[in-house]
């Protein structure tokens, strides 16, 4: 289907290219009937591709100033992209399905491919877009042809390959917030059979937010990259394309604003000696932190694609190696108080992939594609989270508030130590600055798949297709997590604390009777008064009977402040740290050419995503393993249950599509019912993430893409997506049983409309005016908020109204001069919200980017 926020892609009709050969670059003023896409791993016209696919051209990217995949969502209504706590955490959602950020062990449901090479994690996906020819967004399960994690869809980026005609381009952009972007590329021949291309980009911008405590701007942009290619074509039958790239990000990202100021704000304000947050005002872009959040990301790799034409058969091999290194650190309490002194991550990802396939091109009624895919990935991850210098007094205030001033940190330290026979053991240790967790995780993922499709032309107009993919995925993972958080290692149910619990139980009972337990005279009078003495004896009996009862433990409320308890590492004698999954996905499709300009298709397809591993401090054993862990003597203090990994996702889709293209118009419609069993949900709860499988999530949807050229030079576009989503079953969510509810973050209606007008003056100079508008209907942002009453999460909604525009003068000598603006309406919305870290009653959220604008000079030769 055609994309419709920016100008849809049109190119003059052309002969089908060999498999995976990219289409010729499309000029924004060329209007024809066909464009070649490779969504089905064959070169076909968009009209003849029976898949719901949106295509965005290089011209559209320029007109709308789309610089990365985050910006792309304004052009594709079914796509949603959100950047979370760092530049290395970006989430892609198609048709309401998607995950994969916040945890390197959780693989995405939306696969991202660049020139046929899978980018397995968001840290490898969010750099500035390379010298792009087009971006194809495939909607719905694509597991039949893609070997790894495409249960919700695929984003396929196709770059321009080297040319034998010397040429290139250079571009300089300057915008508000002192933004400077420089891009350039050169291509040409080395010999008659060898061509090259080399390109680079530099993108820098001051931060659009202000840190009032550190007195500096934040949320800046600082990234650059280079990319080189060699194309060898020694014969007409053989083509070898070598690609190497390197990009670097070194940015301060990402701010979170205060959405709801809870009771702890008074404490953090006092500790900060002034405002610690801009209370209830996330769109002021004013924040308070103790140190700058850092993001240093390196992403590099290379690939070799070999195509060999055997006449009726074409062989393709794509071999690739990728490396990602990400160093991040964040002041993750998002306040001016020094609560979290460090929350850092050192992440390394090594990925090797190999794809082989053979594609037929027979004159007869049957053609096929057969391939194999191998994936090998190693993840090394080290995290550190440590208390800041003010977490101890902060924790003290929390404990005082929770106990009605009956308890405090110093009292607990002295009492616990004395009862253990070591009075000084705990003095000064609870919530001590620098204590926390040292974390190390390892994951090895090895997978292979065998896939293929068969097309049978029943008649000249009717084609039936069958596809299948068998995938085997094995993961081995291990942890080495050490906690130095002393308070979190205290067993509040320990028998030696019985006298203290007895005292607290008795004091609580006396308080309920209106007697101050800290007033000996009042207690003595109550105990000896003939009228109340029997009641006092009942209180004594109650305290004695329950001093070792965990359910009545008066210290139980302190468990909420045991943030970083000792960790049960694995593998161990109960948990082997392994997953092994296999699946056969398939598709059945019928495509019918009603007329030369109208095609229809019907599809049933399944998809698969393997188990995802919880590589985080929130990794906890399954409840079903707890008895065996206890029997083996492995149980650590305060061990809670949760999940080590989430089971696979299995998706299905029923889809009917219509594609019509004429000389001056195009209409594309898809109607579908899509569902995922075992959707892998990863929800932040305020102190950690809860990884769980939803029973089933389903969506009924209608997608429309249309374009029309009513007069010469004017192209109007409209795209709209309607989604009716629900959790058919999700009993064990982080917020209880939410079966039957609408999943958060999925707007019922998303739409984008655009207009591009090109006027050619005498002499060939052109003026190109472009405008596009994106809308998302109001939607609840998150399923729920831990610790908040019902209705709070429902009241926090997101609505998007974003306007982009550009105006360009294109001279005949290849020079473009233009101005542009993104989010000209200065739309303000929260991309996501979450309970503030260790701050009960407060909510934080990531605000949208404000209005940006600037000018661009571009020269093509």
Using one digit for the tens of pLDDT, what is the confidence trace for 150-193?
888 888 889 999 999 999 999 999 999 999 999 999 999 999 99
> Does 688 map to a domain?
yes
Strands (E), 436-496: 436-457, 462-479, 482-483
State how far the Cα of 283 lies from the Cα of 435, in Å rounded to an integer: 34
CB atoms within 10 A of CB 266: 12
Using one digit for the tens of pLDDT, what is the confidence trace for 571-588?
999 999 999 999 999 999
pLDDT at 2: 32
Peptide bond into 437 cis (omega under 30): no
Of 183-187, 506-510, 729-733, 820-824, least confident by mean pLDDT is 729-733
The share of the chain scoring above pLDDT 90, in percent, equals: 73
State how far the Cα of 8 lies from the Cα of 55, in Å rounded to an integer: 7
> Does 21 map to a domain?
no
Q: Do 548 and 573 belong together in one domain?
A: no
The share of the chain scoring above pLDDT 70, in percent, equals: 93
Strands (E), 388-435: none
- Please report, for the domain that includes residue 608, its CATH number: 2.40.170.20
Q: Do 575 and 634 belong together in one domain?
A: yes
pLDDT at 30: 39
**Residue 86 burial by Cβ neighbours in a 10 Å radius (0-12, 13-18, 19+):** buried
DSSP state of 590: E
pLDDT at 31: 36
DSSP letter for each residue of 220-257: -EEEEEEEEEEEE-SSSSEEEEEEEEEEEEEE-----E
Q: Do 735 and 685 belong together in one domain?
A: yes
Of 530, 554, 578, the residue that ends a domain is 554
Q: Do 344 and 255 belong together in one domain?
A: yes
Sign of CA dihedral 784, 786, 790, 794: negative
CA within 13 Å, CB half, 255? 30
State how far the Cα of 791 lies from the Cα of 110, in Å rounded to an integer: 31
Using one digit for the tens of pLDDT, what is the confidence trace for 27-60?
443 333 456 667 667 777 767 778 888 888 888 8
User: Are the CB atoms for 606 and 143 separated by under 8 Å?
Assistant: yes
State how far the Cα of 20 lies from the Cα of 243, in Å rounded to an integer: 15
> Does 664 map to a domain?
yes
> Does 414 map to a domain?
no
State how far the Cα of 214 lies from the Cα of 127, in Å rounded to an integer: 27
pLDDT at 408: 96
pLDDT classification of 26: cutoffs 50, 70, 90 = very low
CB atoms within 10 A of CB 855: 14
Q: Do 226 and 191 belong together in one domain?
A: yes
User: Are the CB atoms for 719 and 4 separated by under 8 Å?
Assistant: yes
Q: Do 503 and 367 belong together in one domain?
A: no
State how far the Cα of 433 lies from the Cα of 213, in Å rounded to an integer: 21
Of 554, 578, 594, the residue that ends a domain is 554
Q: Do 549 and 623 belong together in one domain?
A: no
Using one digit for the tens of pLDDT, what is the confidence trace for 411-451?
999 999 999 999 999 999 999 999 999 999 999 999 999 99
Q: Do 280 and 314 belong together in one domain?
A: yes
pLDDT at 98: 77
Mean pLDDT of 341-347: 94
Peptide bond into 254 cis (omega under 30): yes
pLDDT at 88: 65
User: Are the CB atoms for 834 and 159 separated by under 8 Å?
Assistant: no
pLDDT classification of 123: cutoffs 50, 70, 90 = low
Q: Which residues are within 8 A (CB) of 404 and not within 5 positions of it... i.e. 6 or more apart? A: none
pLDDT classification of 224: cutoffs 50, 70, 90 = very high
| Residue 77 backbone class (left: φ over 0; alpha: ψ -120 to 50; beta: rest) | alpha
Sign of CA dihedral 352, 115, 325, 100: negative
CA-closest candidate to residue 356, choices 313, 324, 322, 323: 313
CA-closest candidate to residue 657, choices 596, 594, 582, 713: 594
Q: Do 587 and 538 belong together in one domain?
A: no
Kindly report the backbone phi and psi dihedral angles of residue 106, in degrees, each rounded to the nearest multiple of 5, phi listed first. Answer: -100, 110
Mean pLDDT of 278-296: 94
Using one digit for the tens of pLDDT, what is the confidence trace for 306-329?
999 999 999 999 999 999 999 999
Res 11 pLDDT > 60: no
pLDDT at 707: 92
Beta pairing class for 313-329 and 294-309: antiparallel
What residues pair up with 770 in beta bridges, in sequence order?
756, 806
CB atoms within 10 A of CB 789: 7
The continuous run of DSSP H or E covering 719 comes out as strand 714-729
CB atoms within 10 A of CB 216: 15
CA 761-29-711 angle, to 5 degrees, is 75
Q: CA dihedral defined by 409, 411, 416, 422, rounded to 10 degrees? A: 110
Average per-residue pLDDT in the chain?
Answer: 89
Q: Do 164 and 127 belong together in one domain?
A: yes
By residue range, what is the domain housing residue 517?
Answer: 493-554
Sign of CA dihedral 491, 493, 498, 503: positive
CB atoms within 10 A of CB 530: 6
pLDDT at 108: 84
Q: Do 438 and 515 belong together in one domain?
A: no
| Residue 293 backbone class (left: φ over 0; alpha: ψ -120 to 50; beta: rest) | beta
**Residue 528 burial by Cβ neighbours in a 10 Å radius (0-12, 13-18, 19+):** exposed
Using one digit for the tens of pLDDT, what is the confidence trace for 660-685?
999 999 999 999 999 999 988 887 76
> Does 16 map to a domain?
no
User: Are the CB atoms for 92 and 110 separated by under 8 Å?
Assistant: yes
pLDDT classification of 85: cutoffs 50, 70, 90 = low
State how far the Cα of 492 lies from the Cα of 745, in Å rounded to an integer: 39
> Does 285 map to a domain?
yes
pLDDT at 92: 84
State how far the Cα of 679 lies from the Cα of 698, in Å rounded to an integer: 10
User: Looking at per-residue confidence, does 106 or 797 come out higher?
Assistant: 797
Of 514, 537, 554, the residue that ends a domain is 554
Beta pairing class for 209-211 and 286-287: parallel
User: Are the CB atoms for 149 and 121 separated by under 8 Å?
Assistant: no
- Structure tokens that stand for 14 in this block: 């052309």
pLDDT classification of 4: cutoffs 50, 70, 90 = very low
- Structure tokens that stand for 661 in this block: 């293209």
Using one digit for the tens of pLDDT, what is the confidence trace for 446-470?
999 999 999 999 999 999 999 999 9
User: Are the CB atoms for 749 and 720 separated by under 8 Å?
Assistant: yes
Beta pairing class for 598-609 and 578-593: antiparallel
User: Are the CB atoms for 455 and 464 separated by under 8 Å?
Assistant: yes
Q: Do 535 and 684 belong together in one domain?
A: no
> Does 766 map to a domain?
yes
Give the count of domains, the chain: 2
State how far the Cα of 673 lies from the Cα of 700, in Å rounded to an integer: 4
pLDDT at 56: 84
> Does 372 map to a domain?
yes
Using one digit for the tens of pLDDT, what is the confidence trace for 522-551?
999 999 999 999 999 999 999 999 999 999
């Amino acid at each position: 289907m055609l994309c419709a926020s920016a100008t849809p892609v049109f190119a003059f009709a052309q002969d089908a290219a060999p498999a995976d050969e990219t289409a010729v670059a499309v000029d924004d003023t060329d209007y024809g009937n066909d464009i070649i896409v490779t969504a089905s791993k064959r070169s076909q016209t968009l009209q003849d591709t029976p898949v719901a696919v949106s295509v965005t051209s290089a011209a559209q990217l320029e007109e709308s100033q789309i610089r990365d995949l985050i910006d792309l969502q304004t052009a594709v209504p079914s796509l949603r992209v959100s950047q979370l706590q760092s530049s290395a955490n970006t989430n892609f959602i198609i048709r309401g399905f998607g995950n994969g950020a916040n945890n390197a062990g959780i693989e995405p449901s939306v696969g991202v491919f660049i020139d046929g090479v899978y980018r397995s994690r968001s840290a490898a996906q969010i750099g500035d877009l390379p010298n792009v020819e087009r971006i194809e967004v495939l909607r719905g399960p694509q597991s039949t042809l893609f070997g790894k994690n495409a249960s919700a869809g695929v984003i396929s980026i196709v770059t321009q390959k080297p040319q034998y005609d010397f040429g290139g381009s250079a571009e300089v952009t300057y915008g508000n917030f002192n933004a400077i972007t420089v891009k350039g590329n050169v291509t040409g021949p080395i010999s008659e059979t060898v061509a090259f291309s080399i390109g680079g980009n530099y993108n820098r911008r001051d931060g659009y937010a202000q840190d009032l405590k550190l007195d500096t701007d934040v949320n800046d942009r600082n990234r650059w990259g280079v990319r080189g290619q060699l194309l060898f074509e020694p014969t007409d039958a053989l083509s070898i394309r070598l690609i190497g790239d390197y990009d670097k990000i070194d940015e301060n990202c990402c701010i979170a604003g205060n959405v709801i100021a809870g009771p702890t704000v008074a404490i953090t304000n006092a500790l900060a000696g002034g405002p610690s947050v801009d209370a209830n005002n996330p769109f002021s872009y004013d924040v308070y932190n103790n140190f700058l959040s850092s993001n240093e990301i390196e992403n590099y790799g290379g690939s070799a694609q070999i195509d060999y034409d055997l006449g009726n058969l074409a062989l393709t091999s794509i071999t690739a190696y990728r490396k990602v290194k990400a160093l991040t650190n964040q002041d993750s309490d998002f306040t001016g108080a020094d609560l979290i002194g460090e929350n850092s991550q050192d992440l390394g990802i090594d990925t090797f992939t190999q794809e082989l396939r053979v594609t037929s091109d027979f004159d007869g009624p049957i053609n096929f594609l057969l391939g194999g895919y191998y994936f090998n990935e190693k993840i090394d991850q080290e995290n550190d989270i440590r208390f800041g210098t003010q977490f101890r007094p902060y924790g003290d205030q929390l404990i005082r508030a929770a106990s009605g001033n009956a308890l405090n940190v110093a009292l607990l330290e002295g009492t616990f130590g004395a009862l253990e026979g070591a009075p000084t053991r705990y003095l000064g240790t609870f919530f001590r600055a620098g204590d926390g967790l040292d974390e190390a995780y390892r994951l090895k993922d090895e997978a292979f798949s065998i896939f293929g499709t068969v097309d049978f032309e029943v008649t000249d107009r009717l084609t039936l297709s069958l596809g299948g993919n068998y995938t085997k995925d094995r993961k081995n993972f291990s942890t080495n997590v050490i906690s130095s958080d002393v308070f979190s290692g205290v067993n509040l149910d320990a028998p030696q604390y019985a006298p203290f619990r007895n005292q607290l139980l008795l004091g609580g009972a006396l308080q309920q009777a209106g007697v101050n337990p800290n007033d000996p005279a009042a207690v003595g009078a109550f105990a000896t008064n003939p009228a109340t003495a029997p009641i006092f004896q009942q209180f004594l009996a109650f305290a004695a009977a329950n001093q070792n009862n965990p359910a009545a433990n008066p210290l139980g409320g302190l468990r909420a402040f045991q943030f970083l308890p000792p960790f049960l590492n694995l593998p161990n004698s109960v948990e082997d740290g392994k997953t092994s999954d296999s699946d056969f996905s398939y598709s059945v499709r019928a495509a019918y050419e009603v007329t030369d300009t109208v095609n229809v298709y019907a599809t049933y397809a399944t998809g698969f995503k393997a188990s995802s591993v919880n590589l985080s401090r929130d990794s906890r054993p399954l409840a079903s393993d707890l008895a065996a862990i206890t029997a083996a003597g492995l149980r650590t203090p305060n061990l809670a249950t949760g999940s080590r990994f989430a089971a696979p996702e299995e998706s299905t889709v029923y889809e009917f599509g219509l594609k019509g293209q004429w000389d001056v118009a195009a209409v594309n419609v898809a109607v579908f019912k899509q569902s995922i069993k075992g959707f892998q949900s990863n929800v932040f709860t305020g102190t950690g993430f809860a990884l769980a499988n939803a029973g089933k999530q389903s969506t009924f949807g209608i997608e429309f893409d249309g374009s029309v050229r009513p007069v010469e030079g004017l192209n109007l576009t409209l795209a709209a997506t309607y989604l009716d989503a629900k959790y058919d079953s999700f009993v064990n969510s982080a917020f209880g049983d939410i079966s039957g509810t609408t999943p958060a973050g999925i707007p019922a209606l998303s739409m984008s409309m655009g207009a591009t007008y090109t006027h050619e003056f005498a002499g060939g100079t052109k003026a190109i005016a472009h405008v596009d508008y994106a809308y998302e209907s109001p939607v609840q942002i998150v399923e729920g908020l831990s610790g908040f009453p019902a209705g709070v999460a429902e009241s926090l909604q997101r609505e998007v109204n974003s306007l982009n525009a550009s105006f360009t003068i294109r001279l005949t000598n290849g020079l473009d001069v233009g101005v542009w603006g993104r989010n000209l309406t200065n739309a303000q919305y929260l991309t996501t919200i979450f309970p503030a870290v260790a701050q009960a009653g407060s909510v934080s959220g990531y605000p949208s980017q404000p209005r940006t604008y600037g000018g661009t000079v571009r020269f093509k030769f």
